[in-house]
Amino acid sequence: LTIKQSGGHISLSLEFSPIMKKIEISNFGILPSGHIVKKIEFENKNGLKFSVLNYGATAASLICPDKNGKSDDIILGYDNLEGYLENSYFGSTIGRFANRICKGKFSLDGADYQLNCNNGSNHLHGGCQGWDKKLWDWKIKNDEVEFRLESKDGDECYPGNVNASVCYKLTEDNEIQIRLKATTDQTTLINMTNHAFFNLSGQVLHFFHFVLSQPRSRVFQALLTGPGFSKVH
C-alpha cells in the first residue's frame, strides 16, 4: 500500500502480486451534499488503465495503447465531477429502468403505477434521481471493485425494495468485465445497463460529428422505441 499526497490531493495505490495489477484510489470531486466522490483506477500488466467512479457506479475512462504504443482514452467522459453532474448518463449505471417508459405508466400484478416523468411526459433512465445520480457504496474485492446501492420501496415511485450491485474488473487479457445484479422483495421493473460511449479513435471534443452506419431501431417522436429497424444511408 502506497499513500501519496500532493497539495490537497491524496491517493492510495495497491499492488497485487504475483499478478502485476495496480489499483489507485483518489478523490475526484465533492458533491453539493458535501460527500466526496472517489475514482478507482485499475492498471494491468499490458498498460491498460480503467477508471470508475462511485458516483453513478460510472465507467469513467479506459486508456489503452495502440499498436504503436500511443495511449488514448476510448470511453467518452469528463475530467471533472461538474461534467457528470450536468450529464450524468455518460458511462454510468442506469436503473431502475433503462430507456423510456411512455407517460411513466405501467401495470404490474393488477396494480397501476405512475412514475416520475423527467423526459417531457415520459420516464427516462430511472427518473429524476435515477441510479446514475446516486453515490454508491463500494469496496475492493481481490482485483475488482464492487458497487452497492439500496433503492427503497417508492423510489421514483417504483414498487419494492431493491438491492443492486455492479462489479467492474480489468483482466490481464485486456477485458473489461461488468456484472450487474439486483434483488427485490416484491415484483417490480428492473432493466439495468451501463451507459458507456466508446470511441476507438480516442477522445473527441464533439461526438456529434460521428455518423451512425448500423441499422437502428425505429422510434416515435418522443424517442420511444417502436417495432423493426431502419437502415442508415
> Structural domain boundaries of the chain?
19-97+127-149+164-183+193-203
- pLDDT given for residue 177 in this prediction: 96
60 CB-near residues (< 8 Å, 6+ apart) = 39, 51, 52, 53, 75, 77, 78, 91
pLDDT digits (tens, 9 = 90+) for 53-82: 999 999 999 999 888 888 999 999 999 999
Is residue 8's pLDDT more than 50?
no
Q: By percentage, how much of the chain surpasses pLDDT 90?
A: 70
Which is more confident, 189 or 217? 189
pLDDT at 104 over 60: yes
| Chain segment 89-100, per-residue pLDDT in tens | 999 999 999 999
Whether 178 has a pLDDT exceeding 90, the answer reads yes
Here the cell at position 146 is 464492487
Q: Which is more confident, 225 or 26?
A: 26
Query: Domain 19-97+127-149+164-183+193-203 adopts which CATH fold?
Result: Beta-galactosidase; Chain A, domain 5 (2.70.98)
Mean pLDDT of the chain: 85
Mean pLDDT of 102-110: 96
| Cα Rg, the chain, nearest whole Å | 19
> Strand, coil or helix: what is 130?
coil
Which of 1-10, 20-29, 186-195 comes out lowest in average pLDDT?
1-10
The predicted pLDDT at position 163 comes to 99
Q: What is the mean pLDDT of residues 140-156?
A: 95
Q: If you count them, how many residues does the chain have?
A: 233
Would you state the cell numbers that stand for residue 128, as one nine-digit string? 429524476
Given a cut of 60, is residue 233 above it in pLDDT?
Answer: no
Instruction: Return the pLDDT at 69.
Output: 84
Coil/strand/helix, residue 13: strand
SS3 of the chain: helix, strand, coil, percent, to 5 = 10, 50, 45
Residue 83 cell numbers, joined: 461534467
pLDDT tens digit sequence for 208-229:
444 555 555 555 555 565 555 4
Task: Please say if the pLDDT value at position 169 is more than 90.
Answer: yes
Full-model pTM = 0.81
Task: Provide mean pLDDT across the span 198-213.
Answer: 60
Query: For the chain, what percent of residues have pLDDT higher than 70?
Result: 77
Is residue 10 scored above 70 in pLDDT? Answer: no
